[in-house]
Amino acid sequence: MNKNILLCGVGGQGTVLASKLIATAAMKKGLSVMSAETIGMAQRGGSVFSHIRIGENLRSPMIAEGSADIILGFEPGEAVRMLPYIKKDGCVIVSRKSIMPVTAALANHTYRGEEMISYLQKQVCTSRLIQK
């Protein structure tokens, strides 16, 4: 049985650390794990996401669109950005705590995490919200 987990957030939230903890726990259980992170903007509060694939016959650490079993969103807007990756019966677990993206702050735009949460609830059958 394979599991594809996508973690997403912004720099400073612990997204990469969380992915390393999940991968380490899976390896300690004797499971095969592949992972990859995108962390270029991590120090500036930019997008950070990690792919974790656990199981057998893994050939790539990257999760294909439409095949993530779980999206673990540390920030609502980043969870929305990763929605193309979730499979039809996948689960989204997301924090209610929103952090304004750097690009929105620089452009003097508003950002409402509540709108992102509402969108997620409409788009995904199985979603869990984590309180602030």
For the chain, domain boundaries = 3-130
Distance of alpha carbon 126 from alpha carbon 94, whole angstroms: 11
Give the closest residue to 70 by CA, choosing from 8, 132, 1.
Answer: 8
Q: Determine the CATH number of domain 3-130.
A: 3.40.920.10
Write down the pLDDT at residue 19. 94
From residue 32, how far is each of 51, 59, 68, 72, 112 by CA, in Å? 14, 11, 17, 20, 39
CB 70 within 8 A of CB 93: yes
Q: Is the torsion defined by CA of 31, 32, 38, 39 positive or negative?
A: positive
Residue 104 has pLDDT above 90, yes or no: no
Q: What is the pLDDT of residue 129?
A: 60
User: Span 36-48, mean pLDDT?
Assistant: 72
pTM: 0.86
Strands 47-54 and 86-95: unpaired
Would you place residue 41 in the very low, low, confident or very high pLDDT band (cuts 50, 70, 90)? low
